[in-house]
Chains A and B, each alone.
Chain A
Amino acid sequence: ELKVEQNPLFLSMQEGKNYTIYCNYSTTSDRLYWYRQDPGKSLESLFVLLSNGAVKQEGRLMASLDTKARLSTLHITAAVHDLSATYFCADGQRSQGNLIFGKGTKLSVKP
């Protein structure tokens, strides 16, 4: 069964702290995508990782991909309240760009 597992599913952080969200996937994929979703809103693309060792950074977020370990991480540096959202990773191994999504990590950053 093709699956994507994120952990933790819920994360409560204090502002200024660092944390990492983990995304394990079951395929041999070298394509991994990260999205953000605010409550009641659509999904926004954050990162596209297309090869082993790929690292992308945007502001306080950094994503990486280790295809040998079938693991992607989303690292949050010095969290701020505006980062509160649900973060999804998705495996792009299937044909025609079909994505397998994880269940999401709901992040809450508190003052």
Chain B
Amino acid sequence: DAGITQSPRHKVTETGTPVTLRCHQTENHRYMYWYRQDPGHGLRLIHYSYGVKDTDKGEVSDGYSVSRSKTEDFLLTLESATSSQTSVYFCAISGSSVETQYFGPGTRLLVL
């Protein structure tokens, strides 16, 4: 299995609070991605990174920000959590833009 960990694995928070999710990899892969998975929607890309300090928006980026200061870590921040951000969040990594993506174990986030 690709060396990807996500933390926390489960989180319950209240509306309006900031939340940061961490993705850590030991594969030295260049590309990292954040997705959210919701029933009936499959997986949707939030933000991605193609190198240290190189990030860009995905299709559902509103309300989220990211940072990547080191190759191994990609942080996803919900500046002010809303109930619509209740979801399962997956991090993925890839060695190139063509290779398959390897997914982390996921973080279940509940915003009350």
- Which residues of chain A have a CB within 8 Å of any CB of chain B? 31, 33, 35, 41-45, 48, 50, 88, 90, 92, 95-99, 101-104
Contacts and interface: CB of A to CB of B under 8 A. Distances in A.
Nearest to B45: A98
Interface string B15-53: 000000000000000010100000011111100101000
Size range of the interface on B? 20 to 34
A93 to B, nearest CB: 11
Contacts, number: 57
Contacts of A35: 103
14 contacts: A33-B100, A42-B90, A42-B103, A42-B106, A50-B98, A96-B50, A96-B97, A97-B94, A97-B96, A98-B33, A99-B43, A99-B101, A101-B43, A103-B41
B106 to A, nearest CB: 6
Contacts of A92: 97-98
A30 B56 CA distance: 23
Contacts of B105: 41-42
